[in-house]
Every structure is written in C-alpha cells, then in structure tokens.
Amino acid sequence: MDYENSDREDRTILPTALKILIAGGFGVGKTTLVAAVSETQPLRTEEVLSERGVGVDDLTGVEAKSTTTVAMDFGRITFGEDLVLYLFGTPGQDRFWFLWDELALGALGAVVLADTRRLADCFPSIDYFESQGLPFIVAVNCFDGARQYSLEEVQMALNLDPDVPVMLCDARKRESSKDVLITLLQHVMKGRGLTRKPETVGS
Amino acid sequence: MTRPDAEPLWVDDEAGPVVRPYAMTRGRARPRNGFNVISLVTAARATPPLDVGLVPEHARIIELCQRPLALAEVAAHLHLPLGTVRVLLDDLVARQLVYVSEPRPPATLPDDSVFEALIHGLREL
C-alpha cells in the first residue's frame, strides 16, 4: 500500500487515552457490557504467559515450560478528537495476577460485575482492587430468572466499604451500561484528592 | 492469524504457541519497554521503509498506526500477543519509525475536566 503524503502533521493531535476495567466472574457479562457501549465489536488481545507466571516468557528453557494464552476483550469509545476511553474486561482466570497488574496500571477505576447467583465469584476482583487502592463500584447484572436481592443485601454479603456504590444493571442494554460507567466516574471523581496508595506492581 | 483455541492440539514440545511470535522477533522474548496497553502508537511516516531488518509485521504496524492506536488495538488487529508487539515496537521506536505516547497517570490529572468530559460524552452517546 502506497501513501504519497509523508507529512505527519496529524500526530500533533494525540488524544488523551484512558481506561476502565470491567471485572467479575466467568460468564457474568463483562464482554456483554463492553459490547453494549463500545463503538465497535469488542476486540480481543492476548498475552502468552509461562506457567511459572513470571510475566513475559523468556526463551531460555522454553522447551521445558508450558505456556498459557490469556485473552482479554476490550472496547473503545472515542469522544471527539481528544479523548478515547478503553474498556478492558479482565481475564477470567484470577490466577494471572501479573496481567491484572498490567491492566490496572494507570486505570481510572473498575466496575465489578456481580451475579447474585454466584456472588462469591467477584470476591477476587474486589480483594484485588481494594489491595491496589483502585476505585471501583459493584454493578449487579440482572439475569433473567435470578432472584432479586436488595442492594443492601449485596453490599453486606460482599462486605463492602459503605462508600462503594452498588447498583443494578442490565449489561446487554446500552443505556444501563452507560449509567454504570457514569456512576463509576462520579465515584472516582468524588474520591480524588484523597490519598491513594502508591502503585504496586508485581505478584 | 493465530488460533489459540487450536494450539493445544500441537503436541510437539517445540511447536507450542510461542514458536511463531519468537520466530518473528528473532528469539527475543522480553521487550525492553513496558508500554501500557493503552499507550498510543503513531507511525512516524506514511509508508514502511525498505529495510532488511524489518519483518512484515513491522510494516503492518506502520500501516495500521497512521492514526494513533493503543498497543492493545495493534495487538488485536495483528492477532499477536501483547508481548510480541512490544518487542516489535522496540525495533520501530529504535528506528524512529513510530512514536509511542504513554498515558497520563490519572492521579496527575490537574482537575476534574477529563471526568466531566467523559461523563458528558457518555450521556450523549
């Protein structure tokens, strides 16, 4: 493919890139929520990890080591020319903490999607974000036929700090998923200025 | 295009999912950079140079990044693992063929204007 014009003037308008993590247990609707608000179908990116879990693989001794490919789905929302928001679904396997660290680095905050039929599935996400000092909210995805619990019951069952917003959502619906992101952003804004733990990377 | 789902069928020890990326990066497994998944990659020129040191994937990155794309987007479009794309970016950055802009840490945002713009933008969607 040939381009005649070799000027690169357009690189002066580099947008501000931001990201939000969408976490929660397997099958809770992370990719569904990403798809509901993103401007395109969610994209998939992968990282190849060694079973030692020491981050990026080293070629040394590669024959003896098994590797695992971890997939992450993400979406993009562009706001005008100067703002891009990326939504990253966290890998379902909670043992890949290295990847969580990589995703969480520089994130604005996180949405923990919960299914009241399998509430314990979101414990690892909540523990992780609490330990990292990353602001998060809990959004209870309302599955058809699932027994409805009150938000207070969910808050108590998850042993959440009372400041952490808990809300209902329908991850399939664009409006509902937008509300989730807005609630998170408002929560993050409210917490700004408060001292945050320094970023700690590593398992 | 890699098909990770199919790869466990490869039973030979040396034919694991890492072979193709390693070949592409000439055995370098560990990138020198720690670019964020949302670091924006922008090509510094419109066409890939004729450079014997480049593989087709380098050229693809230059073609893709005519407008800024996040590292994760580059990896997704190339169907390559993030680590492999980081190694390829090392080469391109060293040759000044792409610029990589790291995201601003949210804690350093001077005020709430970005948050307000995001909330406003989401409401308008």
pLDDT tens for residues B4-31? 444 444 444 444 444 456 667 766 768 8
Q: Which residues pair with A88 in a beta bridge?
A: A21, A74
Share of chain B above pLDDT 70, in %: 78
pLDDT at B50: 84
- Is A9 near chain B, with CB under 8 Å? no
Task: Tally DSSP H helices, then E strands, for chain A.
Answer: 5, 7
Please answer yes or no on whether A185 and B119 come within 8 Å at the CB atom.
yes
| Nearest alpha-carbon partner for A24 in A127, A98, A178, A106 | A127
Interface probe with B: pick from A13, A38, A44, A56, most Cβ of B within 10 Å: A56
Structure tokens at A114: 């919960």
What residues in A contact B111, CB-CB < 8 Å? none
Asked whether the beta carbons of A75 and A34 are under 8 A apart, the reply is yes
pLDDT at B8: 46
E strand spans, A51-169: 67-79, 83-89, 109-114, 136-141, 166-169
Q: Structurally, how many domains does chain A consist of?
A: 1
The pTM is what? 0.83
Q: Give per-residue pLDDT as tens, A90-141.
A: 987 656 788 889 899 999 999 999 999 899 999 999 999 999 999 999 999 9
Note down the domain range covering A163.
15-41+75-191
Domain interval for residue B116:
4-124
| pLDDT at site B64 | 97
b (16+ CB within 10 A) / e for A34-66: bbbbbeeebbbbbbbbbeeeebbbeeeebeeee
What is the reported pLDDT for B30?
80
| pLDDT tens for each residue of A176-187 | 999 999 999 999
What gap in Å lies between CA A62 and CA A43, rounded to an integer?
29
Mean pLDDT of all residues belonging to chain A = 83
Domain-embedded: residue A172:
yes
Residue-level pLDDT at B53: 83
Residues of A in contact with B117 (CB under 8 A): 79, 83
Chain A residues in contact with B29 by the CB 8 A cut-off are 56-59, 62
The partner residues of A112 in beta bridges, in order of sequence, read A23, A138
Give me the interface pTM, i.e. the ipTM: 0.81
- Rounded CA-CA distance A187/A118 in Å is 25
Q: Is the pLDDT at A61 greater than 60, yes or no?
A: no
A43 to B31: CB separation less than 8 angstroms, yes or no: no
The H or E element spanning position B78 is helix B71-78
Q: What is the pLDDT of residue A12?
A: 55
pLDDT at A91: 84
Lowest average pLDDT, out of A77-81, B109-113, B117-121, goes to B109-113
Residues A198, A188: Cα–Cα separation, whole Å = 16
Helix axes A123-132, A97-104, angle to 10 degrees: 50
A41 inside 8 A of chain B by CB: no
Beta-carbon pairs below 8 A across chains A and B: 165
What DSSP designation does A2 have? -
Q: Is residue A80 part of a domain?
A: yes
Domain total in chain B: 1
Q: Is residue A125 part of a domain?
A: yes
The DSSP-derived string for A37-81 is HSSSSPEEEEEEEETT--SB--STTGGG--EEEEEEEEEEEEETT
What CATH number did the domain enclosing A170 receive?
Answer: 3.40.50.300
A187-196 pLDDT per residue, tens: 999 998 654 4
Instruction: Kindly state the percentage of chain A with pLDDT values over 70.
Output: 78
Mean of pLDDT values over B77-104: 95
pLDDT in tens, B26-81: 667 688 888 999 999 999 999 988 877 889 999 999 999 999 999 999 999 999 99
What mean pLDDT is predicted for residues A6-30? 80
**Hey, what amino acid is at A39?**
E
A79, part of any domain: yes
B117: pLDDT strictly greater than 50: yes
Give the residue among A127, A26, A143 at the shortest CA–CA distance from A73.
A26
Amino acid, res. A164: V
Q: Is the pLDDT of residue A198 over 60?
A: no
Q: And the tokens for B82?
A: 């993030």
The DSSP bridge pattern shows strands A43-50 and A67-79 to be antiparallel
Instruction: Please identify among residues 152-181 of chain A the ones whose CB lies closer than 8 Å to any CB of chain B.
Output: 174, 178, 181
* Residue B121 Cα, gap to closest chain A Cα (Å): 6
Q: How far is CA B49 from the centre of its chain?
A: 19
Residue A171 tokens, joined: 């991850």
Report yes or no on A178 lying in a domain: yes
Minimal Cα–Cα distance from B98 to chain A, Å?
A: 10
| Residue of B45, B114, B124 to mutate, testing the A interface (most A Cβ within 10 Å of its Cβ) | B114
- Angstrom CA distances, B102 to A18, A83, B29, B40, B94, stand at 11, 14, 22, 7, 16
